[in-house]
Amino acid sequence: MRAIRYHEYGDSSVLHLEDAPDARPGAGEVVVQVAGTSVNMLDVAIRLGILQNDAPIAFPHIPGVDVAGRISEVGPGVTDWHTGDAVIAFLPATAAGAAAEYVSAPAALLAPAPASVDLADAAALPLAGLTAWQALVENARLRAGQSILVNGAGGGVGGFAVQLARREAATVTATASDRSRERVRAAGADRIVDYAATPVAEQLAGERFDVVLNLVRNSPVEAAALADLVVDRGVFVSATTPGPERPERNIRVEQVAVRSDPVQLTRLVALVDGGELVLDIAQRLPLADLHVAHDQALHGMLPGKTVLIV
């Protein structure tokens, strides 16, 4: 099969489209004929070698933790899934990924693909959707009527976070630059703050939010300034730079560590098919251009969810 692989850690030039051995299903696994994969910073961090301890890989490695496609083969012990089923998953980061024509996937991680969108586009959902869900539901425990600041709403996770927060009837303030303003507004943000002009914490000085969700790889000083925007007894949730402890104000500080969860993913799929969650694809690229999206991700320049069409 054809796959994007890399044989050593490094910059995006290590990514090559080449022949690779066919994917085979082990016990409890299926093989998925990939329609689409997506790009997340996790793929880039693994390629750079900065997660060697947490996510050790074997070379050559096929990146791509998000997959959408159809099951082409079912391994021993798999009874719930069948050839031809359309599925999505957040795959184990250390195994061969979905930047390929086929990928082996643990059956226990699969969710049915949304029926209402193009199958390749569904690859936008797993990691980013689960991150937003876990950040808001598990970490923030966001409730109706609360106010939330989503810093980094122009990105893939941010787009889902804004939609899910609005669905919870929260009041959403979101940061976005010009290029993402309309997309973030369409996602349901009540107010947009252009982070490119003046630091966000400076623009919002004096305001307070029940929840601040930080999705930007900023400095500890910038993270601390954002934490100052949380109400007493509020929550600071970060998927990036750890938040500062604020015991004197009883602020709960939470760090997101996304995990694959097929039950939650199935709920997100139901929201998509119910018209309550939109898969807003900012960019579709051929698989051969994976390096372009990796470079955009590294520099915080991905324009939202990017899908690689296989």
Ligand X SMILES: NC(=O)c1ccc[n+]([C@@H]2O[C@H](COP(=O)([O-])OP(=O)(O)OC[C@H]3O[C@@H](n4cnc5c(N)ncnc54)[C@H](OP(=O)(O)O)[C@@H]3O)[C@@H](O)[C@H]2O)c1
C-beta of 38: minimal distance to ligand X in Å? 9
DSSP secondary structure code for residue 94 in this structure: T
Kindly identify the residues of this chain, within the stretch 87-106, that bind ligand X according to CB under 6 A.
none
Select from 33, 37, 38, 40 the one that contacts ligand X (CB under 6 A): 40
C-beta of 9: minimal distance to ligand X in Å? 17
Kindly identify the residues of this chain, within the stretch 49-88, that bind ligand X according to CB under 6 A.
none
Residue whose entry in the numeric block shows the structure tokens 């939330």: 148
C-beta of 193: minimal distance to ligand X in Å? 9
Q: Which is nearer to ligand X, 40 or 264 (CB)?
A: 40
Q: Which is nearer to ligand X, 263 or 299 (CB)?
A: 299
Are 6 and 260 in contact by the 8 Å Cβ rule? The answer is no
Select from 3, 297, 308, 310 the one that contacts ligand X (CB under 6 A): 297
Kindly identify the residues of this chain, within the stretch 249-278, that bind ligand X according to CB under 6 A.
256-258
239, 310, 260: which is closest to 91 by C-alpha? 260
> Does 303 interact with ligand X (rule: CB under 6 A)?
yes
> Does 216 interact with ligand X (rule: CB under 6 A)?
yes
> Does 154 interact with ligand X (rule: CB under 6 A)?
yes
> For ligand X, which stretch binds (CB under 6 A), given 60-68, 102-110, 149-157, 265-273?
149-157
State the Cα–Cα distance between residues 36 and 307, nearest whole angstrom. 6
Q: Which is nearer to ligand X, 115 or 197 (CB)?
A: 197
- Token pair belonging to 176: 């976005």
State the Cα–Cα distance between residues 5 and 225, nearest whole angstrom. 40
Q: For residue 147, how many C-alpha atoms fall within 13 Å in the half-sphere facing its CB? A: 11
> For ligand X, which stretch binds (CB under 6 A), given 59-67, 109-117, 226-234, 296-304?
296-304
Are 177 and 199 in contact by the 8 Å Cβ rule? The answer is no
Select from 63, 64, 152, 262 the one that contacts ligand X (CB under 6 A): 152
- Token pair belonging to 143: 């409730």
Q: Which is nearer to ligand X, 29 or 121 (CB)?
A: 121
Select from 4, 15, 32, 41 the one that contacts ligand X (CB under 6 A): 41
98, 120, 121: which is closest to 109 by C-alpha? 98
Are 227 and 220 in contact by the 8 Å Cβ rule? The answer is no
> For ligand X, which stretch binds (CB under 6 A), given 5-13, 175-183, 224-232, 268-276?
175-183
C-beta of 24: minimal distance to ligand X in Å? 29
Q: Where does the chain have alpha helices with state H?
A: 41-48, 126-133, 156-167, 178-187, 200-203, 220-227, 262-273, 290-298
3-state helix/strand/coil string of 247-277: HHHCEEEEECCCCCCHHHHHHHHHHHHCCCC
- Token pair belonging to 49: 């070698």
Q: Which is nearer to ligand X, 23 or 68 (CB)?
A: 68
Q: Which is nearer to ligand X, 22 or 54 (CB)?
A: 54
> Does 191 interact with ligand X (rule: CB under 6 A)?
no
Binders of ligand X: how many residues, by CB under 6 A?
A: 29
Composition of the chain by helix, strand, coil, percent to 5: 30, 30, 40
What are the residues binding ligand X (CB under 6 A)?
Answer: 40-41, 128, 131, 151-152, 154-158, 175-177, 179-180, 195, 215-217, 239-240, 256-258, 297, 300, 302-303
